[in-house]
Amino acid sequence: MSFTGSKKKPSPEIKQGTKQGTKQETTARSSRDSTSGTGGGHYTQDVDDLQDVLTGIPDRPAKSLMTFEELQAKIGSAPKKNRLFGAYKMSTRYKAIGEKLAAVKATLANATLGQITAEGGRKNFESALNDQLDDIVTAGQRYQKKHTGKKGRAVQDLLDDVERFRREIPGTLDALTSEDDALPEGLPLDQAMVAKGAGIAPGKLKGVSPRHCDFVKFNDGTRAGPSKELGKGSVNTVHLVEHGGVERVFKEEQQTDTSQAWAPQFMGIDVKNDPRYGNRNVAGGVLGKLLGTKVMPESRFAINDGKVGLLMEMAPGKTLAQLLKSKSLDEDSFSPKALASLQQQLMDLEACDILTGQSDRHQGNYMIDVKGDQVIVTAIDNDFAFPNTDKVTFGDKARIPLTFPGMNSIKNLPALMSKTVADKIKAIDFDRDVAASFQGLLDPAEIRDAKTRFLALRNHVINLEKDGYVVTDWEKWRGPPPERMTAAAFLTSGDKDKTSLFSRDFGKVLDL
């Protein structure tokens, strides 16, 4: 029985990721290590044998190096800050340990499995990592010269952990680079260690961008309490999870789309073999950030209950559909400032949807949160985005925005645009800023089409600006004379603009 073929999960008592096991567990682990010799193979066999007869024996790469935060907790204080603008430097020995630990963490985060398996890559990596571990030992020993009590003992725990970690490196790398059970080459080493420890099979990472995995931060070991199933009916893959006091929604990544929705098939998404919906959501968030708007939520991949999926922050408020159904909205629902904010964010969302090629912006697909003058608009379910026009099966594939019969995509280029987003669009170099960010998330044809949409929107923005339709203050903006319409009136006027998101969803309810 080989270690790398083992699918056993670590016991609940021994946490994965950045969490520490108990001192007793550490001692037991060290004891096993000490009998294993230096070769990873011996240790591997020991672990497999023990896993056969005992519960609670973890797979090898389950535990990374102690973090600086954990060391601080043991020492009981953080390093003192420098005083008088750095004229008096404080606790440099303590800080040095933190810096050396951070260097090791960075090395683990920056190295990918592909780099390790490249010719000479592993040797160079191990050499560099061992040098960095030596630096921690040197820094720790310097600290211990000044601190022999509780603090010194806490640092000794770290030094013991460094040696444990050092001994485990060969076996860990063997396990992570095994051809039998190879994780994606682009996966950073620290993420791979957590994935392996959680028993994630390589197939579960199909269609998942390795660069956007944040397993170290978001895994079963770092989660507070159990996850809670959300939704009803056949919605059985969405959970509420909490990490660091923040509630988020976890959606297990599916390798096949069984939704029966036409939109992705029209858009050229391979629903049976390669939907990559998680990637599409992440890419939407990346784009929103580049445009300086928060309407597109940032998301990343996490591990929950041994599964890989998309992790998004809980969006505040309610879906527009829910607000309309409960008759919670009318012309008095928005103060002038709130209405201005709503308009701006909806037009930001239009810009994002056009750039992402979103085809599914129905009224249940974005959230509205109104608190006085403050409005937060958050787009959700950004799965049906980034079409591939080579494979589009319906509609006019040259049209921007791309629209499909019976779908809820934005119908026209925006009639107004906020200055913030307009400036970003003008300043962005697609190849440098966007295409680079999309690598690993989208395929080349999807990125190519995104560029086509981007260039069309940038040309449109230049015209909008020339004609006075780029808006700095949505409350005070007025259209061209003689009407001098408000932004709300302008967006809901004329046939062409009837199809703006604001007009479509708020024109009637606000009696505009």
3-class secondary structure, 472: coil
Interaction with another protein in 191-230: which residues (CB under 8 A)? 230
Task: Please list, in sequence order, all residues whose beta carbon lies within 8 angstroms of the beta carbon of residue 129, skipping any fewer than 6 positions away.
Answer: 104, 107, 108, 169
Report d(CA 35, CA 291) in Å as an integer: 56
Applying CB under 8 A, does 487 fall inside the site for another protein?
A: no
Q: How many residues bind another protein (CB under 8 A)?
A: 37
Applying CB under 8 A, does 432 fall inside the site for another protein?
A: no
CB of 365: closest distance to another protein in angstroms? 6
Q: Considering only 108-116, 218-226, 316-324, 417-425, which stretch makes contact with another protein by CB under 8 A?
A: 316-324
Applying CB under 8 A, does 178 fall inside the site for another protein?
A: no
Q: Which two tokens stand for residue 301?
A: 């991949």
The binder of another protein chosen from 350, 360, 449, 497 (CB under 8 A):
360
CB of 253: closest distance to another protein in angstroms? 12
Report d(CA 270, CA 290) in Å as an integer: 27
CB of 385: closest distance to another protein in angstroms? 11
Applying CB under 8 A, does 76 fall inside the site for another protein?
A: no
Q: Considering only 349-357, 378-386, 411-419, 494-502, which stretch makes contact with another protein by CB under 8 A?
A: 378-386
3-class secondary structure, 446: helix
The binder of another protein chosen from 364, 395, 440, 507 (CB under 8 A):
364
CB of 391: closest distance to another protein in angstroms? 19
Cα(first)–Cα(last) distance of the chain, in Å? 71
Applying CB under 8 A, does 251 fall inside the site for another protein?
A: yes
CB of 238: closest distance to another protein in angstroms? 5
Applying CB under 8 A, does 168 fall inside the site for another protein?
A: no
The binder of another protein chosen from 408, 409, 437, 503 (CB under 8 A):
408
Interaction with another protein in 25-44: which residues (CB under 8 A)? none
Stretch 260-299: interaction string toward another protein, x if CB under 8 A: xxx--------------x----------------------
CA angle 179, 183, 187 (to 5 degrees): 135
Cα-based distances in Å from 383 to 158, 277, 380, 401, 424:
44, 5, 9, 17, 24
Ordered alpha helix ranges (H), 149-268: 150-176, 189-197, 263-266
Applying CB under 8 A, does 322 fall inside the site for another protein?
A: yes
Q: Which two tokens stand for residue 146?
A: 């000044």
The binder of another protein chosen from 145, 232, 432, 466 (CB under 8 A):
232
Applying CB under 8 A, does 110 fall inside the site for another protein?
A: no
Applying CB under 8 A, does 318 fall inside the site for another protein?
A: yes
Q: Considering only 43-51, 141-149, 322-330, 484-492, which stretch makes contact with another protein by CB under 8 A?
A: 322-330
Q: Which two tokens stand for residue 269?
A: 């998404």
Task: Answer left, alpha or beta for residue 6, where phi above 0 means left and psi between -120 and 50 means alpha.
Answer: beta
Report d(CA 350, CA 206) in Å as an integer: 30
Report d(CA 238, CA 250) in Å as an integer: 6
* Minimum CB distance to another protein smaller for 145 or for 327: 327
Q: Which of 205, 272, 275, 260 is nearest to 442 (CA)?
A: 275
Report d(CA 348, CA 345) in Å as an integer: 5
CB of 292: closest distance to another protein in angstroms? 25
* Minimum CB distance to another protein smaller for 230 or for 445: 230
Query: Residue 243: how many CB atoms within 10 A of its CB?
Result: 17
The binder of another protein chosen from 259, 389, 452, 493 (CB under 8 A):
259
Report d(CA 413, CA 298) in Å as an integer: 24
CB of 159: closest distance to another protein in angstroms? 45
Cα-based distances in Å from 360 to 212, 264, 446:
24, 9, 17
3-class secondary structure, 318: strand
Binding site for another protein (CB under 8 A): 230-235, 238, 249, 251, 257-262, 277, 312, 315, 318-319, 321-322, 325-326, 360, 362-365, 367, 380-381, 383-384, 405-406, 408
